[in-house]
Amino acid sequence: MTAYTSNEQKDTRSGFGAALLQLGRINPDVVALCADLKGSLKMDAFAKEFPDRFFQAGIAEANMIGVAAGLAIGGKIPFTGTFANFSTARVYDQIRQSVAYSNTNVKICASHAGITLGEDGATHQSMEDIGLMKMLPNLTVINPCDYNQTYKATLAIADFKGPVYLRFGRPKVPNFMPIDQPFEIGKAILLSPGSDVSIIATGHMVWLALEACSILNEQGISAEVINIHTIKPLDTEAVLQSVKKTGCVVTAEEHLMNGGLGDSIAQLLSLQLPAPLEMVAVDDKFGESATPEELMVKYGLDVPHIVAAVQKAISRKR
């Protein structure tokens, strides 16, 4: 049974904003750039307290990424902020050449990732960003699960030398990770030990995986829940160790199947430890307008889908 509980709902983007302000206070090299979304990205407090270290780039994301690369070359630690779509797809070649290939110490921080952006619809919902970013050599890709983990991840990437893609979201979701839980880039966190199936989840889906774990427990199924916050580099050791024990896997993420966490796990397992795998993710579709809750149900990103995927994965073991 899971020991994790949540008494509050908080948005992950606010965890980013709070940590960025903290970084401003403790690290004079940290600077921030934003493409006309500083309210949405919760960068207001940093901008107000450090006006000389905050650069409003306007609605010009390509230039923002380039300027950030230049600031990094000059020894600064730039954090860029805009929505996930505009942080990745819109500026892919700028990230590829000026950040990834040049290995500049830029922190690309992306809010409103996934389908839970909601009513704005598919133009603004990014469900391919993890895939785009993990394809690029040198890039580290991190997708924290709640406010506290986003806070810790934001602090951690400032101390890490190299380009990072940090992905978080818009809605208020359960805040359940203890704030004193250590955050180590590339290190998975075992949330709940189990023996019948490994549920490997990232981002907003981690809490839903824990809820599914409780339901499964009542059905007599012992599920192990692993939080993968770092998609790349993947903690292969943690995954393999778990699957050796449980013999089957369900991945859960607010992303397309193509290019997401499930895709990384599938590659790992088929190369090293073939095992039944089910993916809770969006299958090659764009999203649409609705509330985040409605969309999570319609696109199969909810607790019943995780439970069903677990049952299927276990049945394939036999």
Partner 1 sequence: MTTTQMQALASQVRRDIVRMVHAVQSGHPGGSLGCTEFMTALYTSVMNHDPKNFTMDGRGQDMFFLSNGHLSALWYSILARTGYFPVSELTTFRKLNTRLQGHPTPAEHLPGVRVASGSLGQGLSVAIGAALSKRLRNDPNLVYTLHGDGELQEGQIWEAAMFAAGRKVDNIIATIDYNGKQIDGPVDEVMPLGNLRAKWEAFDWIVLEMDGHNFNDILSTLAKAKSLTGNGKPIVILMHTHMGQGVDFMTDKHQWHGSPPNDKELESALSQLKETEGDY
Retrieve residue 200's tokens. 């490997």
Q: How far is the CB of 154 from partner 1 (least distance, A)?
A: 21
Q: Which of 1, 60, 89, 179 binds partner 1 (CB under 8 A)?
A: 60
Establish if 289 lies at the interface with partner 1 (CB under 8 A).
no
Active-site residue (options: 49, 61, 254, 278): 61
Q: H or E segment at 249? A: strand 249-256
Establish if 67 lies at the interface with partner 1 (CB under 8 A).
yes
Establish if 57 lies at the interface with partner 1 (CB under 8 A).
yes
Q: Which of 8, 27, 49, 74 binds partner 1 (CB under 8 A)?
A: 74
Torsions phi, psi for 189 (to 5 deg)? -120, 120
Of 98 and 264, which CB lies nearer to partner 1 in the complex structure?
98
Torsions phi, psi for 211 (to 5 deg)? -65, -40
61 noted as active-site residue: yes
- Binding segment for partner 1 (CB under 8 A), chosen from 91-99, 147-155, 183-191, 239-247, is 91-99
Q: CA-CA distance, 94 to 49, in Å (whole number)? A: 29
Establish if 27 lies at the interface with partner 1 (CB under 8 A).
no
Q: Which of 19, 20, 69, 210 binds partner 1 (CB under 8 A)?
A: 69
Establish if 24 lies at the interface with partner 1 (CB under 8 A).
no
**Biggest alpha carbon–alpha carbon distance for the chain:** 62
* AA letter at 55: F
- Binding segment for partner 1 (CB under 8 A), chosen from 66-74, 143-151, 267-275, 302-310, is 66-74
> What is the DSSP code string of 163-178?
-EEEE--SSEEE--S-
Report which of 67, 63, 74 is spatially closest to residue 29, judged by C-alpha positions: 74
Looking at 1-101, list the stretches that DSSP marks H as alpha helix, in order from N- to C-terminal side. 12-26, 44-49, 61-73, 84-87, 92-94
Establish if 236 lies at the interface with partner 1 (CB under 8 A).
no
Q: CA-CA distance, 21 to 154, in Å (whole number)? A: 10
- Binding segment for partner 1 (CB under 8 A), chosen from 36-44, 98-106, 261-269, 310-318, is 98-106
**Cα-Cα end-to-end distance for the chain:** 24
Point out which residues bind partner 1 (CB under 8 A): 31, 52-53, 55, 57-58, 60, 62-76, 78, 93-94, 96-98, 101-104
- Residues annotated as part of the active site: 61
